[in-house]
Amino acid sequence: MLPAHQAINDEIRERQRLDQGWKQRVERARYETGRAERQYKAVDPENRLVSRTLEQQWEESLRSCQRLQDDYDRFMATHPPQLSTDERARITALSQTIPELWNAPGTTNADRKKIIRCVVDHIVVHVTADSNQAQAEIYWQGGFLSRVQLQRSVRSYQEMENYEQFWERVTELRKAGYSAARIATTLNSEKFVTAKNKSFSSGQMMSLLARKGLGSLQEATDLAANEWKLSDLARELGISTETLRGWAKHGWVENRQTPTQRFWILCADEPELKRLRRMVAIVRPGRVRYPKDLTTPKRKN
């Protein structure tokens, strides 16, 4: 908001402008009164009709001039051209409470519009062509100027100023195994925005990744020899994924998890498959006790 001294100077200039306006009106009234007097005194006294009419006009002009002078005196009594010490102190206090008023819970958007109309004269926005960058120049009442850098909505990501940096970051996160949701969260935390100048959602990111051919994660499919995805090994053994996941959590199957999405990758060569099938053969409803030799996986070399 405006500094206190700027608001004080604005009030002084406004009062001086009003005072000058009053003085000009009084001066014109006095001129009209003097002209009416001169016309009356210049007429032939023998011409009584004209003389009486001009005298009435002169008297009315005198009364109008006196009323205007009285109005001016009353205005000056309440709005002197210079501010008193008390008035300066009140303006200073008010300028410091405007931010509090703006952010107060009870202040509505309609109230904020009224505040803006009181302190802002006009705003000029400069738009950079083929870019989401813009600059707003705010001209405050009294001549104070401030500039704000903005990001605007554009039609496509190619028009964004940081387009190359944006896609480099998306590609980097995707190659690291980040899901669409996590990429969106990361970009939002790093202050990247969509072409519409909004935060990213997981749905938007999935669509963008698909368009760029980044729709599938590499970390879940890059398997070493004898490695299985959880669902594939469960299908091979003929058991549910929940059961096999439980075995992995207990350490009964050699396993690892992908670093980002925590996918289960299980290791089982032919001897391990035989051991796991023996475990499957003794699965019974309810709690099952497996022999220790069946729950001890062969460690990878």
| Distance set, CA 141 to CA 19, 38, 148 (Å) | 19, 46, 17
- Residue 148 is given by DSSP the state E
DSSP 60-109: HHHHHHHHHHHHHHHHHHHS-SS--HHHHHHHHHHHHHHHHHHH-TT--H
> Does the model's pTM come out above 0.75?
no
- Cα gap 18→38, rounded to integer Å: 31
Residue written as token pair 């003097």? 34
Angle at the Cα of 53 (from 51 to 59), degrees rounded to 5? 100
- Class assignment of domain 219-301? mainly alpha
Domain boundaries, the chain: 4-87, 110-152, 161-211, 219-301
Alpha-carbon span 88 to 9, nearest angstrom: 10
CB hemisphere CA count around 65 (13 angstroms): 19
pLDDT by residue, tens only, the chain of 301 residues:
445 666 677 777 888 888 888 899 999 999 999 998 898 888 887 788 888 888 899 999 999 999 999 999 888 888 787 777 777 777 676 666 777 777 878 788 888 888 888 878 889 988 877 777 788 888 877 667 788 888 777 777 777 778 888 888 998 888 887 888 889 999 999 988 888 888 888 888 888 888 777 765 444 456 788 899 888 999 999 998 888 998 999 999 999 887 656 778 899 999 999 999 998 888 766 556 778 888 888 776 5
d(CA 200, CA 192): 8
